Homo-oligomer: A and B are copies of this chain.
Amino acid sequence: MVEQYKQQHPYLLALDSIIFGFDGERLKVLLVKRGVEEETWSLMGGWLQPDESLEQAAARILFDLTGLTNVYLEQLYAFGEPHRDPIVRTISVAYFSLVKIADYESTISEQFQARWFSIYDLPPLLFDHGDMVDLAIKRLRYKAAQHPIGFELLPEKFTLPQLKKLYDAIYNTDFDKRNFSRKILSTNLLIKLDEKQKGFSRKGAYYYQVDSIKYQQLTSSFLNFIPNSEAIP
């Protein structure tokens, strides 16, 4: 019985994160130089520890780099080509996360050489990390078209022009602002605040924030790509 387990080969298990951020103009990915090949940019990653779940490990690794917790984190795909890591066979479970770039600025760990890159101007990446980024971009586009996850990339308070710029950046296009507002507001997911954004434009745009109750309902009923997790406290 337990013999059956002992005959099996074990493998190293890594986690790699595609960390998206939005600087107001461009959709960006956070890359680091690390480990074995310090010459090459790569995704932030690390090893699974014996006492943690995959998601906990991904969250820990993200925290080590950015100092952020409570970040949007979704499993992307498990990559397991036999020679994807040429040194030792390693299975990598990739996660993608959406961070509020301003939050991150202040908390970044200095022990990593990290830099934001526009998704349209990426350097060559380690191993199959380029595939991971490509897939993450596709998934983000696919998902953001139907789920209101874009907010995760913006500050708590944001204006409609900011939100439109984000979607423009995600889809590399230029949406019509009238149709865009109509569609976004028809979800009833945004609460208009009395406050206007100062400084950027003469007129100033009203701030909005997400109606977090409605947002929870939507995400829990639909974002259920992520299952169970008995062990998440």
Residues of A within 8 A of B (CB): 1-2, 4-5, 8-13, 35-36, 47-54, 75, 77-83, 87-89, 91, 93, 128, 131-132, 134-135, 138-139, 224-225, 227-231
Which of B36, B77, B227, B230 sits near A75, CB closer than 8 Å?
B77
Measured CA separation A36–B54 after assembly (Å): 24
Contacts of A49 in B (CB 8 A): 9
Which of B8, B132, B227 sits near A47, CB closer than 8 Å?
B8
Contacts of A78 in B (CB 8 A): 54, 75, 78, 93
Which of B11, B51, B53 sits near A48, CB closer than 8 Å?
B11
Contacts of A8 in B (CB 8 A): 12, 47
Task: Name the residue in A81, A89, A128, A132 with the highest tally of chain B Cβ atoms < 10 Å from its Cβ.
Answer: A81
| Copies of the protein in its oligomer | 2
The answer to whether B51 and A80 have CB atoms under 8 Å apart is: no
Which of B4, B51, B228 sits near A128, CB closer than 8 Å?
B228
The answer to whether B82 and A13 have CB atoms under 8 Å apart is: no
Across the interface, name the chain B residue whose C-beta is closest to A95.
B78
